Structure formats: structure tokens, C-alpha cells
């Protein structure tokens, strides 16, 4: 299939696919004259990359994953390691946010208890 169809099926732009190729995330496609020809595996890889971006992975992180194996080769073990690491980061962020929320609740309760209003000035 041509690049336009591959872009449509994977939900990205043609420019995005060309960029992924340029930075080594996608292998060089086979060509028919000057036209790039893609297969279903390429479309699936583009979709995977886009999904990973939506989940917080940067293109640089993905480049590091493929650097050892060459363009288009995202080893499952490296992906799973990255997912586990990202989940741990998110859990830590969630714990931090939960603590901040608890601190805000306590602060709010102390304000209501003392009826202290730091924005009211005597007239």
C-alpha cells in the first residue's frame, strides 16, 4: 500500500511516517519507482509508536529501544521493561498527588476551623 493509505490506517500523517523513517523508528520501505510501499506490519508498527507516544513515551526513548536491533525492530522484552518502568513512575506520581490532595484537605479543614481569612483586611 502507498504511504497515504498507511497513514490513514495507522491514524497519523504522511509527514509523521516520513519522520519515523528519518529517525530510524521505521525501516526503509520497499519502493515501486519513487513510491514508498508499506505492508500491514509497517502500519502496525506506526500504530504502536503512536500509542506509545500517547502513553507518555518519547520518540527518543523509542529510538533507544531500536538502536541495538535496527529500524523497525522493537524487541518485546525492551518494550515490556519500558512499560513496567513507566507504570512505576505513574504510581509514584499518583502517590505524590494523593499526598498533596490529603495536605490540601487538611489545610482546608484548618482554615475552616480557625475561620482565618488571609484575604480580608480590616476597614
Are residues 23 and 63 in contact, defined by beta-carbon separation less than 8 angstroms? yes
- Residue 122 covered by a domain: no
- Residue 9 covered by a domain: yes
Which secondary structure element, helix H or strand E, spans residue 32, and what is its range? strand 30-32
* pTM for the model: 0.70
Written as nine digits, the cell of 32 is 515501486
- Residue 120 covered by a domain: no
Rg value, the chain, Cα: 24
pLDDT per position as a tens digit, 5-16: 999 999 999 999
> What secondary structure letter does DSSP report for 55?
T
State the total domains in the chain: 1
**Residue 52 structural domain:** 3-114
Could you tell me the CATH number of the domain that includes residue 63?
1.10.1660.10
**Residuewise pLDDT in 10s, the chain (123 residues):** 999 999 999 999 999 999 999 998 898 899 999 999 999 999 999 999 999 999 989 999 888 887 766 666 777 888 898 899 999 999 999 999 999 999 999 998 888 777 655 666 555
- Residue 123 covered by a domain: no
pLDDT of residue 62: 87
- Residue 59 covered by a domain: yes
- Residue 93 covered by a domain: yes
Are residues 10 and 37 in contact, defined by beta-carbon separation less than 8 angstroms? no
- Residue 62 covered by a domain: yes
- Residue 41 covered by a domain: yes
Amino acid at each position: 500500500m502507498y504511504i497515504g493509505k498507511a497513514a490513514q490506517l495507522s491514524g497519523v500523517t504522511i509527514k509523521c511516517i516520513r519522520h519515523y523513517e528519518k529517525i530510524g523508528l521505521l525501516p526503509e520501505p520497499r519502493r515501486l519507482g519513487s513510491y514508498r510501499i508499506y505492508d500491514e506490519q509497517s502500519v502496525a508498527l506506526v500504530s504502536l509508536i503512536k500509542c506509545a507516544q500517547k502513553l507518555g513515551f518519547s520518540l527518543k526513548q523509542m529510538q533507544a529501544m531500536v538502536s541495538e536491533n535496527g529500524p523497525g525492530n522493537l524487541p518485546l522484552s525492551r518494550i515490556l521493561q519500558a512499560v513496567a518502568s513507566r507504570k512505576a513512575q505513574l504510581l509514584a506520581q499518583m502517590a505524590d498527588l494523593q499526598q498533596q490532595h490529603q495536605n490540601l484537605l487538611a489545610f482546608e479543614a484548618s482554615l475552616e476551623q480557625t475561620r482565618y481569612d488571609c484575604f480580608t483586611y480590616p476597614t
